[in-house]
Amino acid sequence: MQKLGWTALAVLLLGACAQETVTPAADTDDADTGDTTSAEAASSDGPVRPPLDPYPSTYAAYPSGPVLLANATVLTGAGDRIDGGSVLMQDGKIVAVGADLEAPEGASVIDAEGKWVTPGVIDIHSHLGNYPSPSTDSTSDGNEATAPSTAEVWTEHSVWPQDAGFTRALAGGVTSLQILPGSANLFGGRSVVLKNVPSRTTQGMKFPGAPYGMKMACGENPKRVYGERGGPGTRMGNFSGYRSSWIEARDYKKSWDDYWADYDEWADGDGEDDAPEAPARDLQLETLAGVLNGDILVNMHCYRADEMAFVLDMTEEFDYDVTSFHHAIEAYKVADMLAEKGVCAAVWADWWGFKLEAYDTVPQNAALVHAQPGGCTVIHSDHALGIQRLNQETAKAVDAGRRAGIDIAPETAIQWITANAARAMGILDQTGTLEAGKMADVVVWNGNPFSVYAQAEQVYIDGALMYDRADAARSPRMDFELGQLGEDEFTGGAGQ
Amino acid sequence: MSAVTIKTLFSSAVIAVIGVVSASAQTTAIMNGEVHTAAGGVIENGDVIITNGRITQVGADLSAPAGATVVDAEGKVVTPGIFAPLSTIGLVEIGLDAEANDAGPQREVGFPLGAALDAVDAYNPSSILIPINRAGGVTRALSAPQAGDSLFGGRAAVIDMSGRTNSITKRQAAQILEMGYSGATRAGDTRMGAWALLREYLDEARSYAANPNDYVRRPRDGRFAVSDLRALGPVIAGDQPLIVSVNGAKDIRTLIRLKNTYSLDVIIAGGSEAWREAEALATAGIPVILDPLFNLPAQFEDLGATLENAARLNEAGVRISFYNPPGFGAHNLRLLTQQAGNAVANGLPHDAAIAALTINPAEMFDLDGQLGSLEPGKVADVVIWEGDPLELDTQPEAVFINGQRQDLGHRQQMLSDRYRDLSRGDLPHAYRGGE
């Protein structure tokens, strides 16, 4: 890492993108789709329907007993702060949050006096797994930079669950994260949302029921990658690429909608004619059609204000939504437009200057986006070190806001790396806040998480203690790190 | 040729006395602050008196001299200015914009020179990066070239962050060298190649230095540019620090052997596994400039990377400082304090962190007689902080360089001010601010 130069950074930043979430389960039609094998089902069993979730999550929470975290400063992620507060977890869920909670029989009671308790940190923009450690040609799987539109790729097929970066992120309080394809392409492919619990398989980490996202990219990256490889070579080329694809996607969606309508009509008929023939499947257009259907959430890597404004018009032209702009260096110049459209800006606190479209960074960006009525700020990492301290990045952005006259309380700021991220990833109904019924994804900090000295002491995911700074047995170590360094007996792990 | 002669040859490259600008007698009295001197102690309710650009008094219960500009620092923390020991400040404006990036030659284009390059030739004191980082308390930095196809990056200069046209503190303050896997990629993709090539360079530089006139007249190996060999003179004389990028313990062990063989003044950059050789580094007197946030097995030479690197090295008696990758860093030198805070969270004593940001870099470049601490006689690089300098909600309230109070405004602040109000207004945003 120390020797990463600008070229390497460029590769890293190509990772940046926009994400969309697709919720297969949200599709009312999939009830009769059944399992993945029905994708090409014979017409006698109903119409052909492409599989919505052919690589389903096998994640399951680890066992946990009831736990009462008592007497802490609780930031609920729902906007509240409770001094002397308690959080009760049971069966993997948040049961209650309040000032005076009774411990149920058999509960472990943890006196958290002096500690701060928050929802698990969520990173909306990560490349853990698809640009893992060690970083070699062998493991560089984040950018399918072979064509400007690769909406057909699914980044879960690149994610290496043995990336040691997951463990370091866990020690930083990260309980859920979205892995995005890189930003070399206009359409980079599908994202995947993970729970930060190690597994032998990527399916074992997939966040149950999370919608898919799709990555798109504005500006310099596609130009730079394809400018001498057939294009696009300009920003206008980028937009013509997006628009041509949306036109194709609209036609593709219509061909399937028409087919299902024809099928229903045929099924209601006398059965004398042959069943209508399903259109040919196209993986690329299937993902784009998923966006047009509202199932897949668009994560749009975009730095410049003028480009974000054009993207917003493009969503009108083709009737889809961008859920979040990523990096959004110049979001502060169009923060009103983003707020009006309900689009989140996922930003860094202070990264800048690595390319011209990142020249106009201001540390107040996050706060200026937040200050708009309806503004939605998310702090993201896009980086295997940054993901370990999203709390610190938030603290700096909050402080910059304060100096601009925008006061943001800790109970609000925590939402930038919890609830707001969850909202933009389509999982806010399941996690992102400490509210009864939600997943018990909880971090116990040794103090105010917005201090440079703060450390996550315990991290619970679905109620199970997955990291404990004081207990080496609760510190995951990936296969790659075992047995390294010989006599130094250094085995890596979450606390390193 | 003796080392003494070599020193004479190159002595013109070193500015021994830092020029302090002073049109007329100026005295500033910083009163009643929590003064972290970086010279062995914290003075509660301490005062720092600055006259004509230099610190004249440091202590408790001092009296402000008559006519002094008094700065009340009650409730504030006063430290020496932050000294960034490794950066490309002034050489890079925009990383990926070739015309705005002079930090080093492009890779794999066969550009023949390395050690001969000199940061002073390209240093831009008007870079917008300077006021942005100055506002974060950075007062001095090493502006260092990064290696292209050569193992060597070239000569780095210590600069002050005033943005003055003449802001070079010490030219040719260090030579830059890439080893480890980074060096291997410049030497046949093997570390053996990098070490062998380095020894060849050092031997050739010795040969050149022994008799330059003879060397240039006789047939010689065209792989070594005379200008590179000449530039390595102070390095082989042990007069100029050689900043060596290495990470793995195995490379560090080889480097220690080579340092002893050639009597070099070596500083390690990176050093993700330096803690594994902490005792040996302390014994060899090799300082380490590291990123205290780096804790990933990003490459095989980083398998031992840990957040405790800084604390373990300091505990063993190794002089440490911090830098801000990627590359050597330039845009966010203002974050060195945050990095230091994380080192403290992982075991480094707070006063050691302050030293790593101030006096340690000054010592690395043999400037500790003039910079790096708050002591009488030293150049007045002083920062008054709102509170703990390492905390995330703390910024400098005042920054002095060479005794001059600095403007803390910068382009990012102007942009933020311009777009604070997004209403259409009477005129476009392009007419707002900056007048």
Q: Give the model confidence (pLDDT) of A351-367 as tens digits.
A: 999 999 999 999 999 99
Residue-level pLDDT at A491? 80
**Residue of B307, B346, B412, B414 to mutate for A, most A C-beta atoms under 10 A:** B412
Question: In angstroms, rounded to a whole number, what is the distance separating the alpha carbons of residues B205 and B198?
Answer: 10
Asked if the C-beta of A135 comes within 8 angstroms of chain B's C-beta atoms, the answer is: yes
Question: In angstroms, rounded to a whole number, what is the distance separating the alpha carbons of residues A99 and A95?
Answer: 14
Q: Name every residue whose Cβ is closer than 8 Å to that of residue A157 and which is 6 or more positions away in sequence.
A: none
Residue-level pLDDT at B17? 57
Furthest-apart CA pair in chain A: how many Å? 79
Question: In angstroms, rounded to a whole number, what is the distance separating the alpha carbons of residues B291 and B270?
Answer: 7
What SS3 class is residue A122? strand
Question: pLDDT digit string (tens) for B81-136?
Answer: 999 999 999 999 999 999 999 999 999 999 999 999 999 999 999 999 999 999 99
**pLDDT, mean of residues A392-403:** 98
> Given an 8 Å threshold on Cβ–Cβ distance, is B299 in contact with A336?
no
User: CA distances (Å), A305 to each of A124, A332, A377, in order?
Assistant: 21, 8, 16
Is a pLDDT exceeding 80 seen at residue B166?
yes
- Give B-chain residues touching A489 at CB under 8 angstroms: none
> Given an 8 Å threshold on Cβ–Cβ distance, is B338 in contact with A136?
no
The 3-state secondary structure of chain B reads: CCHHHHHHHHHHHCCCCCCCCCCCCCEEEEEEEEEECCCCCEEEEEEEEEECCEEEEEEECCCCCCCCEEEECCCCEEEECEEEEEECCCCECCCCCHHHECCCCCCCCCCCCCCCCEHHHHCCCCCCHHHHHHCCCEEEEEECCCCCCCCEEEEEEEEECCCCCCCEEEEEEEEEEECHHHHHCCCCCCHHHHHHHHHHHHHHHHHHHHCHHHHHHCCCCCCCCHHHHHHCHHHHCCCCCEEEEECCHHHHHHHHHHHHHHCCCEEEEECCCHHHHHHHHHHHCCCEEECCCCCCCCCHHHCCCCCCHHHHHHHHCCCEEECCCCCCCCCCHHHHHHHHHHHHHCCCCHHHHHHHHCHHHHHHCCCCCCCCCCCCCCECCEEEECCCCCCCCCCEEEEEECCEECCCCCHHHHHHHHCCCCCCCCCCHHHCCCC
- Give B-chain residues touching A363 at CB under 8 angstroms: 412, 416
**Sign of the dihedral defined by the CA atoms of residues B102, B104, B107, B110, in that order:** positive
User: From the list A2, A6, A12, which residue is nearest B270 (CB)?
Assistant: A2
- Give A-chain residues touching B272 at CB under 8 angstroms: 1-2
> Given an 8 Å threshold on Cβ–Cβ distance, is A135 in contact with B344?
no
Q: Is A273 exposed, middle or buried (0-12, 13-18, 19+ CB in 10 A)?
A: exposed
Between positions 67 and 86 of B, the ones with CB within 8 A of A are none
Nearest residue in A to B419, CA atom: A333
- Give A-chain residues touching B138 at CB under 8 angstroms: none
Q: Is B336 exposed, middle or buried (0-12, 13-18, 19+ CB in 10 A)?
A: buried
Residue-level pLDDT at A8? 43
Asked if the C-beta of B6 comes within 8 angstroms of chain A's C-beta atoms, the answer is: no
How many C-beta neighbours within 10 Å does residue A8 have?
A: 15
Tokens of A86: 């308690």
Question: pLDDT digit string (tens) for B9-52?
Answer: 333 344 445 666 554 579 999 999 999 999 989 999 999 999 99
Asked if the C-beta of B124 comes within 8 angstroms of chain A's C-beta atoms, the answer is: no
Asked if the C-beta of A453 comes within 8 angstroms of chain B's C-beta atoms, the answer is: yes
- The alpha-helical segments, DSSP class H, found in A214-347 are 220-226, 235-267, 283-292, 305-318, 335-341
Asked if the C-beta of B306 comes within 8 angstroms of chain A's C-beta atoms, the answer is: yes
Angle of helix A305-318 versus helix A235-267 axis, rounded to 10: 20
Question: In angstroms, rounded to a whole number, what is the distance separating the alpha carbons of residues A135 and A391?
Answer: 25
Q: Output the pTM of the full model.
A: 0.94
Question: In angstroms, rounded to a whole number, what is the distance separating the alpha carbons of residues B431 and B394?
Answer: 32
Question: In angstroms, rounded to a whole number, what is the distance separating the alpha carbons of residues B142 and B170?
Answer: 9
Asked if the C-beta of B296 comes within 8 angstroms of chain A's C-beta atoms, the answer is: yes
Tokens of A455: 């450390």
The pLDDT confidence band at residue B433, using thresholds 50, 70 and 90, is confident
What SS3 class is residue A480? helix
Asked if the C-beta of A385 comes within 8 angstroms of chain B's C-beta atoms, the answer is: yes
Is a pLDDT exceeding 80 seen at residue B331?
yes
Question: In angstroms, rounded to a whole number, what is the distance separating the alpha carbons of residues B118 and B143?
Answer: 10
What SS3 class is residue A82? strand
Asked if the C-beta of A409 comes within 8 angstroms of chain B's C-beta atoms, the answer is: no
- Give B-chain residues touching A5 at CB under 8 angstroms: 107, 146, 326-327
Residue-level pLDDT at A41? 44
Mean pLDDT of chain B: 94
**pLDDT, mean of residues A20-30:** 38
Question: In angstroms, rounded to a whole number, what is the distance separating the alpha carbons of residues B389 and B366?
Answer: 25
Cα dihedral A72→A77→A78→A80 (10° resolution):
40
Is a pLDDT exceeding 80 seen at residue A45?
no
Asked if the C-beta of A412 comes within 8 angstroms of chain B's C-beta atoms, the answer is: no
Residue-level pLDDT at A44? 57
Q: Which of A88-92, A442-446, B431-435 has the lowest mean pLDDT?
A: B431-435
